[in-house]
Amino acid sequence: MNQLDRLFEQFYNNALEETIKAAGPIERKLALKSTLLELLGDFSYLDETRVPLQATIVETEQFNEYKRELIILPLTNLLEVKMYVLTPKTEKKNIAPVLALHGHGYGVKEAVGLTEDGEQEAVSGIHNQFAVHLVKKGFKVFAPEVIGFGDRRLTRDMQQGNINSCEAMATNLLMEGKTLAGLRIWEARRILDFIEKASDVDKEKIAIMGFSGGALIAAYTAALDLRVAATVLTGFTNTFKGSIMAMHHCIDNYIPGILNYAELPEWISLISPRSLFIESGEKDPIFPNRFVLDAIKQIEENYQNRPEKFRYDIFPGTHEISGRIAYDWLKGVL
């Protein structure tokens, strides 16, 4: 470790020494939630320009076990979400809904079993067609295209052939005191509004599952929004120091000043005491396993009084979704 290494180690240690001083754990959690909203940025302009949540169905596909609809959901006069809705073929009402958030790649199509060109895909990628697995377990799945990916890229990135608009969107928002994470979380919470209005769902059993960058959105959305009853995080749980501060990551992971208040395990712990499942590949190169285990140990402390609400799975694999335990766990807790 050279002098510059020691300097940045000191920066890290100093940041953690400046955390919120609160009277007790409940007060600290409330203070952290309030702080998180501030750190994500002010999106009140979007609240002022919201439009009624009236979706348009643009495509419907029927499968043996489920129906898949592609909808366009306007959120504001300039912001609309492309989203796949997967509904199991069942007579059951009050279906448990899951907001399924994809990570990096070519967009939501991989999560629902489509190629980048929209063809039905037989081979699973790192997303393991997790939206399809969820609907086959009996969930109604809402899988939006996260802003910055697929058809929701900026024109300049489409013209240049860039796979996403994360850098362009994030740098613009940072210059304006906002974050891309904040915009994505704002969208996720509006989609929860839409999910609540669905006539066939049980709004007391809303779940959220995210992979990689989608897990970042899922974690902070669940932390802030008590409507989320259960959360599954894949390929994300770690420490800031062990993951996004230790190697190259997409800029959408970075929220200015967040380390001054808490390390990542404590931010994730804001979800407690609601149900939480963490899964991670033991050979994930960008969210290293030893720091996953450190984070799990810290998070687990917040579930000492409700151990049945927390579970994790370290599976043989890399940066990918497994679901070998997560899907059935989610079905069990809901």
- The strands making up 275-281's β-sheet, listed across from edge to edge, are 56-62, 66-74, 80-88, 140-144, 97-101, 207-211, 230-234, 275-281, 310-315
Query: 111 Cβ partners below 8 Å, 6+ apart?
Result: 84, 100, 102, 127, 129, 130, 131, 143
The SS3 of residue 164 is strand
Q: Which pTM value belongs to this model?
A: 0.96
CA–CA gap between residue 109 and residue 279 (Å, rounded):
22
Please tell me the total count of domains within the chain.
1
Per-residue tokens: 24? 């007790």
Could you give the angle at which helices 213-224 and 25-40 cross, rounded to 10 degrees?
130
**Residues 117-132: tens digit of each pLDDT:** 777 766 678 999 999 9
Ranges assigned E (strand) in the chain? 56-62, 66-74, 80-88, 97-101, 140-144, 207-211, 230-234, 275-281, 310-315
**pLDDT computed for residue 93 by the predictor:** 85
Output helix, strand, coil percentages for the chain, rounded to the nearest 5.
Answer: 40, 20, 40
Residue-wise pLDDT for 50-99, tens only, equals 999 999 999 999 999 999 999 999 999 999 999 999 999 987 889 999 99
Q: What is the DSSP string of 207-243?
A: EEEEETHHHHHHHHHHHH-TT--EEEEES--S-TTTT
User: Is 146:217 a contact under the CB 8 Å cutoff?
Assistant: yes
Residue range 291-319: mean pLDDT, rounded:
97
Q: What is the pLDDT of residues 135-183, one digit of tens each?
A: 999 999 999 999 999 999 999 999 999 999 999 999 999 999 999 999 9
Radius of gyration of the chain (CA): 19
Q: Which amino acid is at 101?
A: L
State the Cα torsion 5-170-145-97 to the nearest 10°. 70
CATH of the domain at 262: 3.40.50.1820
Selection from 190, 195, 228 nearest residue 210 by Cα: 228
What is the rounded distance in angstroms from the CA atom of residue 222 to the CA atom of residue 128? 23
**Residue-range definition of the domain harbouring residue 164:** 3-333
Task: Place 25 in a pLDDT band, splitting at 50, 70 and 90.
Answer: confident
